Chain A
Amino acid sequence: MTKPKPPIAMLAELTHRCPLSCPYCSNPLELTRQEAELSTDDWSRVFREAADLGVLQLHLSGGEPAARRDLEDLVRAACDAGLYTNLITSGIGLTERRLRALDEAGLDHIQLSLQGTTPEMADEIGGYRGGFARKLQVAEWIGRIGFPLTLNAVLHRRNLHQLPRALEMALEMGARRIEVATVQFHGWALKNRDALMPTKAQAEEATRLVAEARTRLKGQLVIDYVPADYHSDYPKRCMGGWGSTGLNVAPDGTVLPCHAAQTIPHLRFDSVRELPLAEIWYEGAAFDAYRGTEWMQEPCASCERKTVDFGGCRCQAMALAHDPAATDPVCIKSPRHVDLQARAAAHAAAAAPLSYRSAPGKPVPTPAE
């Protein structure tokens, strides 16, 4: 196998702490405690190693990255390393003063999450009263300072009808981009499929609305769309291909090919506390495991789409087919596709209360099923 190309993007999960408790959180069920988080100096070194490795885009995420008191120092360190810095935030924990300090530190861009377009919806989904009002205030400060803004609307059965209003809100906030992201069922979301799975009709309506808005708002608002993949015929090109373009660093320094990779039990992960990032990327066993196409089974191995979607998501193959090297069951060529579509319809027709994400160090609530 030829030497892998360097990564373009790194997701730095600075902390798992978060004031919100969204039931679809992509953090793992086992959350890292504050005492185990990397220090300011550790992260600063990792940012320099990432830039030397070829990373161009740094996404500062969490949890809620604003929960780190040293966020301003981390942004400065990332900018000094030459990285393009993107802050992925709910807005909670940011003040006008902190935003101005982040501006001074060199922050390039902000991605603001949206849990709903009304206070009732947003605060219920986020599990945080007053969160929506606070977010609107933060959006105003962001606009005043002039940060480029992407609104990230996370959609599911309960709030998909709010998509038109989310598009309007993006325009009102002066966002250049909106991510219309249907919930992907990993992490905490997997426990909430009965509560959150959209119906097929909802998924189709969202696709239609996005296509219409892309034409109407061309040159004004860029729309990135993540469709409801249980209802799709082909799987997502997860992470742009395993170990090909991006990597995640967890709060404790564990380096992951994707945020859910720890759900694949046989994989062993390296840490930036022990090894240089470049060595982990080029030689780490977890990155090598599903890189390229040699690991594939049928029907992926002989499929003409194998370098289009790389067989879909490995973690989803693990969760739904109990084999991380299987074809993602979303794929129409998977022997499990028909069964998955039936299960998606059953989840969409079910009724269940939201099972919220817990806090680091707190026990995981008993699953609903």
Chain B
Amino acid sequence: MDPAAIPTLPRGVRLHRDRVREQWVLLAPERAVTLDPIAHAILSEVDGTRSLAEITEALAARYAAPPEQIAADAAGFLQALHARRFLDLSA
């Protein structure tokens, strides 16, 4: 995945706090994906303006984690969302 790519949640896909199950979910057309804390942290950084590299850097700083590990986790997760059309990627 290109580190310069800018991930965006397209219309119809959004983060939602599930107050009954007390967890975060990603709501998409006819799907609800349960988010673990890592997945939620990654998606919280997706704002449609910053690139994957910038998001990785921000997460690495915030969680004092190795940037390579964060980059691998984030890229894998976002790629999977992209394959399901829950995420747009623009260069």
Contact = CB atoms under 8 A, between A and B. Distances in A.
Interface of A: 6, 8, 52-54, 56-57, 59, 82, 84, 86, 108-109, 111, 146-148, 150, 176-177, 218-222
B21 A86 contact: no
Interface in B15-50: 16, 18, 20-21, 25, 27, 29-32
B20 A148 contact: no
A147 B18 contact: no
A108 B12 contact: yes
A56 B25 contact: yes
Given A54-B18, A54-B21, A108-B12, A176 B85 contact: yes
B39 to A, nearest CB: 16
Give the interface SS of chain B, mostly helix, strand, loop or mixed. loop
Given A56-B27, A147-B11, A176-B10, 14 more contacts: A54-B21, A56-B32, A57-B31, A109-B12, A111-B30, A147-B12, A148-B13, A150-B29, A150-B30, A177-B85, A218-B83, A219-B83, A219-B85, A221-B85
Nearest to B21: A54
Give the interface SS of chain A, mostly helix, strand, loop or mixed. loop
Contacts of A108: 12, 27, 29
A57 B84 contact: no
Contacts of B11: 146-148
A146 B12 CA distance: 10
12 contacts: A8-B32, A54-B20, A56-B27, A57-B31, A59-B30, A84-B27, A108-B12, A108-B27, A176-B10, A219-B82, A219-B83, A222-B85
Contacts of A219: 82-83, 85
Interface residues of B, number: 18
Nearest to A146: B11
A109 B83 contact: no
B8 to A, nearest CB: 13
A59 B31 CA distance: 11
Pick from B16, B29, B31 the residue with the most CB of A within 10 Å: B29
Contacts of B29: 86, 108-109, 111, 148, 150, 176-177
Nearest to B87: A219
What 5 A-B pairs are tightest by C-beta distance, nearest first? A148-B12, A54-B20, A176-B85, A109-B29, A84-B27
B30 A6 contact: no
Nearest to A54: B20
Contacts of B18: 54, 56
Contacts of B31: 57
Contacts of B85: 176-177, 219-222
A119 B12 CA distance: 30
A108 B27 CA distance: 10
A109 B21 contact: no
Nearest to A179: B30
Contacts of B13: 148
Nearest to A221: B85
A109 B27 CA distance: 11
Contacts of B21: 6, 54
A53 B20 CA distance: 7
Contacts of B20: 6, 52-54
A222 B84 contact: yes
B32 A57 contact: yes
Contacts of A177: 29-30, 85
Contacts of A148: 10-13, 29
Contacts of A222: 84-85
Given A176-B29, A177-B85, A222-B84, A56 B16 contact: yes
Contacts of A57: 27, 30-32
A58 to B, nearest CB: 11
